[in-house]
Amino acid sequence: MRAPEGDLAEHAADLLERLRARQPRVHCITNAVAQTFTPNVLLAAGAIPSMTVSPDEVAAFSARADALLVNLGTFDAGRRAATEMALAQVTKDGKPWVLDPVLIDRSPPRADYARSLLAHRPAAIRMNAEEFATLSGGGLPQDFAASWGTIVAITGETDIVSDGSRTFSIANGHPLMGRVTAMGCSESALVAAALALEPDPLKAVAAAVLIVGVAGNIAGEAANGPGSFGVHILDALFNLDRAALRARARVSS
């Protein structure tokens, strides 16, 4: 029997091959800070980003995308209107969407809005521990995932990915990931790309989280600080292969 570590590394390598071959389109409603790094992460990994938040055309872009990201890092009326239209479109089309409730622990109205979006059934929610505590009001990731029928991905020193019944712990990544803005936002976009390709949502999310973590390990070894880390992780995503995923994956389940 193959160990689960090995399985997830293989799944991640398979997913990366499909990403590069099929180049899924991910429409991103995201914050102003992440508007450049997010598409660069998607492009480095093989996906095709689009980024408009204009209510005049977000439905058209969502209709042509394979998955949607809704990131709350900028919380304005225009983006909320765009989000509503985009969610209506992807729900109608049966496409997956990912919620990234950025910094909801710092803004009560943003937290309320994040909670209201749960009714739209995100395929996955990626966040840090503080954001999860605010969103869930306490409790275990497993319980939250089960009760909302979603995949919960909580990233930090060790990443937790759970669908309620199965849970992966992924101990890849690097401390410099916390020193580059929009790193988590971009990871959420890659989760959306993975969900566009892989029908098992737990596997999709865990594989995307592992891919970013291993790229972070490689970048961390090459970097002299957060500036070069931000450059190297894009190169690492572009060059990542099965051998590196196998050798570096630190997964338990």
Binding of a copy of itself by 17 (CB under 8 A)? no
Looking at the Cβ atoms of 1 and 77, the one nearer to a copy of itself is 77
Residue 31 interacting with a copy of itself (CB under 8 A): yes
- Of 66-85, binders to a copy of itself (CB under 8 A) are 73-78
110 binds a copy of itself (CB under 8 A): yes
Residue 156 lies near a copy of itself (rule: CB under 8 A): no
Q: Is residue 128 near a copy of itself by the rule CB under 8 A?
A: no
Q: Which of 56, 94, 119, 165 lies at the binding interface for a copy of itself (CB under 8 A)?
A: 56
| Residue 37 interacts with a copy of itself (CB under 8 A): yes or no | yes
For a copy of itself, the closer of residues 26 and 124 by Cβ is 26
Q: Which residues pair with 251 in a beta bridge?
A: 170
Cα 4–chain centre separation? 21
- How many residues bind a copy of itself (CB under 8 A)? The answer is 56
Please state the closest distance from residue 104 (CB atom) to a copy of itself, in A: 10
Closest CA to 110 of 102, 122, 119: 102
Taking the complex as a whole, the smallest distance from the CB of residue 108 to a copy of itself amounts, in Å, to: 6
Distance CA 25, CA 62 (A): 9
- Three-state SS string over the chain comes to CCCHHHHHHHHHHHHHHHHHHHCCEEEEECCCCCCCHHHHHHHHHCCEEECCCCCCCHHHHHHHCCEEEEECCCCCHHHHHHHHHHHHHHHHHCCCEEEECCCHHHCHHHHHHHHHHHHHCCCEEEECHHHHHHHHCCCCHHHHHHHHCCEEEECCCCEEEECCCCEEEECCCCHHHHHCCCHHHHHHHHHHHHHHHCCCHHHHHHHHHHHHHHHHHHHHHHCCCHHHHHHHHHHHHHHCCHHHHHHHCCEEC
Among 68, 127, 161, 180, binds a copy of itself (CB under 8 A): 180
Q: Which stretch binds a copy of itself (CB under 8 A): 145-153, 186-194, 199-207, 237-245?
A: 237-245
Pick the stretch among 12-20, 40-48, 146-154, 198-206 that binds a copy of itself (CB under 8 A): 40-48
Q: Identify which range of 13-21, 56-64, 134-142, 155-163 contacts a copy of itself by CB under 8 A.
A: 56-64
Binding site for a copy of itself (CB under 8 A): 31-37, 39-40, 43-44, 49-57, 60-61, 64, 73-78, 103, 106-110, 178-182, 223-228, 230-239
